[in-house]
Amino acid sequence: MSSIIIAALHCFLFFAFSLNNVNFAGSQIEEDFSFQNMQNTKGFELLFSDSKNIVLTIHLNPDADALGAALGFALVLHKKGHTVSIVSPNIFPDFLKWMKGHEQVLVFDKEPEACKKVLEQADVIFSMDYSALKRVGAVGDEIAKSSATKVIIDHHREPEDYADLMKWSTEAGATCELVFDLLKELDWLPLLDKDSGECLYAGIMTDTGGFRHPNTTQHIHEVIAQLLGIGVNGAKVSKLVYDTNTVDRIKLLGFTLSQRLKVIPAYNVAYIYLSADDLKKHNAQKGDTEGLVNYALSIKGIVMAALFKESDNMVKMSFRSVGQFSVNDFARANFEGGGHTNAAGGASKTMSLEQVIKKFENLLPTYKSELNKKL
């Protein structure tokens, strides 16, 4: 494409954007020229070219990547003169309460009216670390009816088609990595400081399983190197995130591993199950079962691990795998879930814990050859 056409295209986009003020939905711009298809810096430059009312939303049960991406990005956007709010559907775990600005996050469960108000007033609504509106519960309804510009920054598979602009890649190990990349593309890296850098570091660290998962690329290490370069204290972040166990949690871990772990060597599968009663007896708090599934996966030779737990009147599932076996496909096909190749979730509101486990075990023969592939 010649530079003249590119210049004309930019002009066109600029006018399309200006005329519609905040709404530059794909439908108003020819398909090929939509912001979604641009997937590039230009759209973001245009978006941030004047001061905006921005709301960053994060998924239900926020993790370090979702919250870190939102807080890290918010700190920079604030420096650029934008008005920024963060809306979370529900509370986030205590071990993230060191992140700068966390006390300003609005929680929809607790303050629905305040959340609705900021969402109504938003010029731009970001989906951080999710790309399907069902991942934000009731917040999704507010986003769906809003006329604000919608932007997705995410690394989950199969994004829904509701965004006007995206920074999306399944190649990215973390949404925090994508935020870093975007800041770099916008020449905003000088605005990143120790506080915002530590938020991003936390997301990348946790989404790569402490830099151990296959998504820990050369690029991730380069990003981390730059974060360390601006003064981020990785050891401190690691300590704050990982070493915050309560005695109850350690005892729940002991009980789970000794009483609720089943290994099926014929399929290289191990799973953990916890009933509502188990959780109650051990005084389990939100987040206490986080990471349990990884113990099952850490057993030598295991290709797929699962955690089934009874919680909130449903059975929640976590699936993990190593190598080619896609738990994203497995969870999508069988348990109304999904996620990434090596980490996915699922849920059932209709089956009991026993029924879910039975279904899971009965499915294994179908996947036998895939589960027995050499790594």
Residue 154 engages Mn ion in binding (rule: CB under 5 A): no
Of the pair 175, 328, the CB lying nearest Mn ion is at 175
Is there a contact between 156 and 133 (Cβ–Cβ < 8 Å)? no
Minimum separation from the CB atom of position 207 to Mn ion (A): 5
What angle, 0 to 180 degrees and rounded to 10, lies between the N-to-C axes of helices 218-229 and 194-207?
Answer: 150
- The β-bridge relationship of strands 343-348 and 314-321 is antiparallel
Instruction: Put residue 350 in one of left, alpha, beta given phi > 0 → left and psi -120 to 50 → alpha.
Output: alpha
Minimum separation from the CB atom of position 114 to Mn ion (A): 26
Separation CA 152–CA 335 (nearest Å): 25
Is there a contact between 40 and 47 (Cβ–Cβ < 8 Å)? no
Of the pair 60, 270, the CB lying nearest Mn ion is at 60
Residue 177 engages Mn ion in binding (rule: CB under 5 A): no
Separation CA 80–CA 32 (nearest Å): 30
- Binding string, residues 201-220; x marks residues near Mn ion by CB under 5 A: ------x-------------
Separation CA 262–CA 270 (nearest Å): 6
Q: Which amino acid would we find at residue 98?
A: W
Minimum separation from the CB atom of position 120 to Mn ion (A): 27
Residue 65 engages Mn ion in binding (rule: CB under 5 A): yes
Of the pair 204, 317, the CB lying nearest Mn ion is at 204
Q: Which amino acid would we find at residue 225?
A: A
Residue 370 engages Mn ion in binding (rule: CB under 5 A): no
Minimum separation from the CB atom of position 252 to Mn ion (A): 25
Of the pair 175, 334, the CB lying nearest Mn ion is at 175
Of the pair 150, 155, the CB lying nearest Mn ion is at 155
- CB closest to Mn ion, residue no: 65
Minimum separation from the CB atom of position 64 to Mn ion (A): 9
Separation CA 223–CA 183 (nearest Å): 11
Of the pair 316, 340, the CB lying nearest Mn ion is at 340
Residue 129 engages Mn ion in binding (rule: CB under 5 A): yes
Minimum separation from the CB atom of position 261 to Mn ion (A): 27
Minimum separation from the CB atom of position 68 to Mn ion (A): 9
Of the pair 37, 341, the CB lying nearest Mn ion is at 341
The count of chain residues that interact with Mn ion, using the rule CB under 5 A, is 4
For 180-234, give the DSSP string: HHHHHHTT-GGG--HHHHHHHHHHHHHHTTTTTSTT--HHHHHHHHHHHHTT--H
Q: Which residues bind Mn ion (CB under 5 A)?
A: 65, 129, 175, 207
